[in-house]
């Protein structure tokens, strides 16, 4: 636990201009060399969390605190934040087809990012781009840099996207569902790449809805439900013994690899509440099988065990 | 590359041929359109009519007439007017072409720069009062008939307030060749081209605004911001790059049709001796060879401009380059 905390979200609260709360009280830590998986259903606010760290959500009101390398990001001037974006922290997006500008070669787009943050010549930038692409396992990287996004396969595009994200040596890499648009073999390669990046000392924040992906790549996991973090801890511990009923239900919904095939996978009845219709108390209470009377008061995130935190009345001492 | 160029040229020639046949048929081969009677005038004696018919070749079969006409138009270029006897048509059109070209170039300069400024400003400041004001102005510009606006401009700058300091520089109506005086050329074309550009500014600013706003919602724009690009760069470099395809295609078509005589009303109102005014005169006197020549000239320009726009498209968007010729 000695590693330096790279990114610390503390009671992050995000709301629409009309006052609807999208995120309520998100607290997370990412350390150097850690990979934090942020897991949740669609609409739970996991992507919003990532975007608010990047400062890419103009028009939404954020409060609380986002500290990155010891500096408070909320309230920072856009000009300064912009200098961090791409250089200090970088983001990989879900669909590499649409995330690149379709009308310029990928090399030109990576060069652009390098030259936005460093004063180097076109030629030097291109040399670095080619080297990066090579390191990401893009074959014939010099020719690949001259190609347009639509000329590359999905896997190569995502590699190029990662190369672009890494081009300025960021200490934090945010990956928003980086493998959802890819097929399984390519997905495994990309995840291996993410592991290597993590091992090289950067912090990784991986947004996904896939528990399997988290198990493969992450060291820590945070489970987000309806704009709140309901459980977090080391991956192995959470996987082995999930504390929050929602995490338990999520893990049960993964089909078993061996043993008899179940007739039907367990599902979680009901659907997550819309941001403007969140229950007063525990947000998961309407779908929870252990629901009881004291769930009407929203439980705080507690630490029942060393390194694990959960927001559920079941673990109130 | 060479093959696609050749096939493109072949297509262009085919289109021009088709247009020429169509125009020829409309004017010379429709029932009741007897060019001989038109040339001979009312109440001419049968002998005169017969003589003219033989002289102009109207007694021969239509395909022969067509070939003779095209030969006179494109090869020997000695097609003469029916109205001003002896006046050669092709040199007349070629003389008028630089006037139209100058007018349209100036207008294009104004409407591209004006619509870029208006379009980008109202997209960036969308839903603010600036945006609404610009869009209303654009709509007004779009709906003002160019001949009316031209007359008003003339009224104000030529007579009513001509002595005011603001309009004292305005030269009398007409055209000054560039070779004679570049400054006079620019002065003579300033107001006409601005008038012509007004409605295009309105249209293009609207198109650009909506295209730009659509483009700014794209994922790749989010990527650009995530890379740390500033707002100016995101809007002008990434956003514009995504949104000017339809702008370019519109521009190519409008530019070509203006060059081909679409600036007719402006040229007539401002007494500019361009192709549009020539067409106007030819139509007024039903001067068939001259109409034939101006229409063919316009067709050639539209076809060439289309090919240029397609080429520009391929330059701007690599996806089109491959879609067309395969790989």
B58-85 tens-digit pLDDT: 788 888 888 888 888 888 888 777 777 6
Which residue in chain B is spatially nearest to A93 when comparing CA positions? B223
When scoring B211, B214, B215, B220 by the number of chain A Cβ atoms within 10 A, the one with the most, hence best to mutate, is B220
Chain B residue numbers touching A101 (CB-CB < 8 A) = 220, 223-224, 238, 241-242
Quick one: pLDDT at residue B33?
66
A156-170 tens-digit pLDDT: 898 899 899 989 989
B325: confidence class by pLDDT, cuts 50, 70, 90: very low
Integer Cα distance of A5 and A1 in angstroms: 9
What fold is seen in the domain A5-88+170-258+265-315? Rossmann fold (3.40.50)
B105 and B30 within one domain? no
B285 and B157 within one domain? yes
The predicted complex's ipTM stands at: 0.82
Among B219, B238, B242, the residue with its CB nearest the CB of A93 is B219
A41: confidence class by pLDDT, cuts 50, 70, 90: confident
Quick one: pLDDT at residue A94?
81
A175-189, A210-224, B11-25, B103-117 — which is least confidently predicted? A175-189
B106 and B55 within one domain? no
> Closest approach of chain B CAs to the CA of A162, in angstroms?
12
**Total domain count for chain B?**
2
pTM of the full predicted structure? 0.80
B327: confidence class by pLDDT, cuts 50, 70, 90: very low
B157 and B125 within one domain? yes
* Percentage above 90 pLDDT, chain B: 22
Integer Cα distance of A27 and A35 in angstroms: 16
Q: What is the mean pLDDT of residues A273-282?
A: 85
Chain B residue numbers touching A87 (CB-CB < 8 A) = 228
Chain A residue numbers touching B228 (CB-CB < 8 A) = 82-87, 113, 116-117
B109 and B47 within one domain? no
Residue B85 placed within a domain: no
Residue A56 to residue B226, Cβ atoms within 8 A: yes
B107 and B49 within one domain? no
Integer Cα distance of A116 and A131 in angstroms: 18
Domain with CATH 3.40.50.300 in chain A: 5-88+170-258+265-315
Q: Look up residue A163 and give its two tokens.
A: 């190369």
Which residue in chain A is spatially nearest to B227 when comparing CA positions? A86
What count of other Cβ atoms lies within 10 Å of the Cβ of residue B257? 16
Instruction: Please state, in angstroms and as integers, the Cα–Cα distance from residue B175 to each residue in B157, B279, B290, following that order.
Output: 16, 17, 21
B145 and B57 within one domain? no
When scoring A73, A99, A146 by the number of chain B Cβ atoms within 10 A, the one with the most, hence best to mutate, is A99
Q: What is the mean pLDDT of residues B24-44?
A: 74
Among A95, A100, A103, the residue with its CB nearest the CB of B316 is A103
> Closest approach of chain A CAs to the CA of B310, in angstroms?
16
Which residue in chain B is spatially nearest to A53 when comparing CA positions? B226
A207-236 tens-digit pLDDT: 998 888 898 899 999 999 988 899 999 999
- DSSP for B152-199, written as a single string: HHHIIIIIITTTSTTTTTPPPSS---TTT-HHHHHHHHHHHHHHHHHH
The b-or-e profile of A197-220 (16+ CB within 10 A means b, else e) is: bbeeebbbbbbbbbbebbbbbbbb
Residue B234 placed within a domain: yes
B305 and B211 within one domain? yes
A144-158 tens-digit pLDDT: 999 999 898 888 898
B26 and B106 within one domain? no
Identify the domain containing residue B14 by its residue range: 2-76
Quick one: pLDDT at residue B1?
67
B229 pLDDT higher than 80: yes
Quick one: pLDDT at residue B237?
87
Residue B88 placed within a domain: no
B145 and B6 within one domain? no
- Cβ atoms of residues B242 and A101 within 8 Å: yes
A51 Cβ contact list (under 8 Å, min separation 6): A57, A176
């Amino acid at each position: 636990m000695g590693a330096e905390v790279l990114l610390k979200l503390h009671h992050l609260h995000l709301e629409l201009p009309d006052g609807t709360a999208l995120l309520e009280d998100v607290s997370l830590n990412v350390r150097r060399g850690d990979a934090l998986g942020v897991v949740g259903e669609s609409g739970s606010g996991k992507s919003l969390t990532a975007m608010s760290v990047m400062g890419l959500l103009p028009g939404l009101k954020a409060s609380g605190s986002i500290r990155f390398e010891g500096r408070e990001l909320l309230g920072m001037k856009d000009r300064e934040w912009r200098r961090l974006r791409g250089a200090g922290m970088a983001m990989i997006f879900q669909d590499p087809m649409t995330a690149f500008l379709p009308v310029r070669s990928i090399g030109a787009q990576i060069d652009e990012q390098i030259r936005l943050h460093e004063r180097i010549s076109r030629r030097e930038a291109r040399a670095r781009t080619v080297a990066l692409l090579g390191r990401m396992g893009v074959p014939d990287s010099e020719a690949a840099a001259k190609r347009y996004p639509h000329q590359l396969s999905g896997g190569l595009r995502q590699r190029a996207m990662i190369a672009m994200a890494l081009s300025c040596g960021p200490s934090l890499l945010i990956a928003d569902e980086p493998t959802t648009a890819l097929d399984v073999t390519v997905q495994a390669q990309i995840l291996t790449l993410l592991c290597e990046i993590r091992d090289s000392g950067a912090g990784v924040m991986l947004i996904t809805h896939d528990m399997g992906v988290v198990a493969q790549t992450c060291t820590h996991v945070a489970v987000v439900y309806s704009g709140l973090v309901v459980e977090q801890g080391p991956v192995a511990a959470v996987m082995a013994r999930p504390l929050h009923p929602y995490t338990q239900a999520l893990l049960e919904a993964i089909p078993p690899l061996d043993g008899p095939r179940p007739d039907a996978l367990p599902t979680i009845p009901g659907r997550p509440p819309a941001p403007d219709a969140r229950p007063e108390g525990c947000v998961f209470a309407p779908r929870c099988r252990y629901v009881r009377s004291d769930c009407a008061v929203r439980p705080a995130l507690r630490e029942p065990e060393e390194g694990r935190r959960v927001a559920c009345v079941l673990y109130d001492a | 590359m060479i093959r696609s160029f050749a096939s493109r040229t072949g297509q262009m020639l085919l289109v021009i041929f088709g247009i020429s046949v169509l125009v020829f048929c409309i004017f010379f081969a429709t029932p009741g359109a007897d060019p001989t009677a038109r040339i001979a005038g009312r109440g001419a004696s049968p002998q005169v009519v017969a003589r003219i018919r033989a002289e102009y070749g109207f007694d021969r079969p239509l395909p022969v007439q067509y070939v003779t006409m095209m030969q006179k138009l494109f090869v020997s270029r000695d097609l003469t007017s029916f109205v001003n006897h002896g006046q050669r048509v092709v040199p007349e059109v070629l003389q008028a072409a630089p006037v139209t070209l100058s007018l349209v170039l100036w207008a294009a300069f104004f409407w591209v720069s004006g619509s870029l400024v208006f379009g980008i400003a109202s997209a960036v400041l969308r839903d603010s009062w600036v945006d609404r004001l610009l869009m209303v102005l654009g709509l007004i510009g779009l709906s003002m008939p160019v001949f009316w606006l031209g007359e008003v401009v003339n009224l104000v700058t030529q007579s009513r307030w001509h002595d005011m300091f603001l309009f004292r520089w305005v030269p009398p109506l007409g055209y000054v060749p560039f070779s004679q005086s570049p400054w006079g050329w620019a002065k003579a074309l300033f107001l006409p081209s601005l008038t012509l550009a007004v409605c295009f500014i309105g249209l293009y600013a609207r198109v650009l605004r909506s295209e730009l706003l659509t483009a700014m919602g794209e994922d790749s724009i989010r990527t650009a911001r995530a890379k740390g690009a500033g707002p100016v760069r995101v809007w002008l470099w990434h956003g514009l790059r995504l949104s000017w395809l339809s702008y370019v295609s519109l521009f190519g078509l409008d530019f070509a049709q203006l060059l081909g005589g679409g600036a007719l009303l402006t040229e007539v109102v401002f007494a500019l001796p361009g192709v549009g005014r020539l067409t106007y005169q030819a139509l007024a006197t039903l001067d068939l060879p001259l109409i034939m020549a101006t229409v063919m000239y316009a067709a050639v320009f539209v076809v060439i401009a289309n090919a240029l726009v397609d080429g520009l498209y391929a330059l701007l968007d690599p996806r089109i380059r491959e879609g067309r010729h395969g790989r």
